[in-house]
Structure 1
Amino acid sequence: MEDKKGLCGVTEENEVEVGAGQDKPPTQGNAPPRWANGQCVLAVQSSSMLNPSFDLSFCRSLLERDGFQIPVGDFEAPLATALDAPSVRRFIVFNTSLFHFILAPVMYVVIWCAVFSTLHLYMAITDYWLLCLSVSLIAIFLTTGVIFVLHHSNKEINMNIDVRLIQVNERMVKHKLLVGVADWVQNCTGALQLFCVYWDMSSCLQTLTETFEKSFLANDAQEKLQKRLSHLVLVSEVKAPDPEAGGCSTGEASGEERPLLGHEETERSTPSGRREDAKITSSHTLIPDPALPAQVKAHQLLVTYSAAYVKLLMSENLSGPSRHELLPRRNHCSSASLCLCQYIKAKVLR
């Protein structure tokens, strides 16, 4: 993996200046500079791989220096909610490339010992070199298979990170920025970074809306959405609304105005005598409602896959279009083989 410092100025949390490898466009007044789609605006490295965290106020100050005036409620608050939970931090640690890099030799040794002891116990083999060679080949194949599965899973949308960043990108898209988290191993050292990428969603939104508006593709597209997104279901517990205070008013919002990660009531738990501790088990599917307008469905898909796209874009894991699909003239990102709408078409609507 080549050094990302040439692609985007990597900023340590205790530094003030952005890396010298970044060619930053000139800023005119308070208006954001003329960035290009897919261009990395900011990359901040985590202070520790064992306890991943980011200085969000420092990140926002760097964005303000580049001309992006983002309120705290659109950046720091949703990012802290999405990434600062202890369970999320543990998942990030165990899902990093560095952990997989360490896991591979440990898994090889464990598999080698298990297979050797099993074969030596049940098979009478006099040639130990042949036994060791066979065991080594089996251990290599099994370890490679497990690591390949883990590596492939990192290219898919992640419920614990990418989906949690949907609420962040719902706000950041108004400022023409997308947020994602990516990591890689370089010189036997893990690098976990928070990326802010410039992205003007208008072109991708128009293209994807046109896809949904085609009458002969509408039903087919909805069936593909049901198939590809059926596993993306969020389950959470929230406080039960107080019926005396008219707590059902929030449910009156239409599907177009409700946040993408809204909740749907499925079960009510009301302990007697303790209404303040009542909980509601809520679930929400990421499949757009068929009754919604084509533009709203397109917007929901773009926001849903935005964090996963940024992760693949910054880690250079985006696969290019085939020879007969996704014409280059429709690409809205000059720095990548696929733009966001093309990635969604290839991943979901194909």
Structure 2
Amino acid sequence: MAHLNVEFIQNLIAEIQSSRINTSEELEVFRLKYLSKKGLIAQLFEDFKNVSGEKKKELGKPLNELKKLAEKIFDDAKNSIAAASLAENKGEDYTRPAGLLPVGSRHPVSQMIEEIVEIFSRIGFSVMDGPEIEDDWHNFTALNFPPEHPARDMQDTFFVTKNPDIALRTHTSNVQVRAMESMKPPIRILAPGRVYRNEAISARSHCFFHQIEGLYIDKKVSFADLKQTLLYFTESFFGKSNIRMRPSYFPFTEPSAEVDVYWGLNNEVDYRITKGTGWLEILGCGMVDPNVLKACGIDPEVYSGFAFGIGIERIAMNRYQIPDIRMLSENDMRFLKQF
């Protein structure tokens, strides 16, 4: 009882904190000294019963801290020694609870495709797929690419063999050709998929990326129908209703246009992605060229239609503020876990 004072308890706390327990033998010595029924802490609590009321208030708190500290150090050392022993023996502890498997997530490109498909499915568009290795007819000729068009050159196209008629598709428009060849109007399809271009890889461009193209063929389809469809898309996807259509050129559409959505200039990011204009380019589009309709066996005197194409990586980079397109294909788990 003579030892039961605050200074003595504080010295014991410091002594326990400095303990180094690395083996089962050292663990047992610690238990016997401090935590056994005849150990030091049990003796202190026995003495505590005979302390006067005023002194109980002074000694009760540090005494409880001493006991909790000793128990914690004992438990931590016990777990550490057990884990080290298990690792050394390379055994399996079948009594341990099973851990939860990590939950996967959808790739940002897949998320964008699914969202766009869902938006257009509300107005009757269905999804159609096609081959990534394509012949010249479906990839170029049927789409009104003349023989001298630069897209046919080796610098833009990956040819699979020495035969220039077989190449990796440069757009998903090949699916549109197959749809027009195999289906009768009205045709209303979406063609998502991976495409390939023989381009230098950088933070803003890659030799492969994803597109989703849309096609609508029917009687009396006009440019006004195209504009209204794209306005519906921008309102649904971006929450923006202000778009502009700039004249452009594509071999398979006439007239053709690039579509920009007014993004705004609310912060530094807006200035960067719109190059200070407030307008963000999102897709290309146009009315299907009559030559394309003829090549696919559709009478341009009876039917007309529009087509549009969206680059998925560009939209994903804007949506999630991804600075480098290469991050979308490097399979870095630190990046993918964010989605």
Relative to the length of structure 2, the TM-score reads 0.24
Q: Higher relative contact order by CA 8 Å / sep ≥ 6: 1 or 2? A: 1
Relative to the length of structure 1, the TM-score reads 0.23
Q: Which has the higher strand share?
A: 2
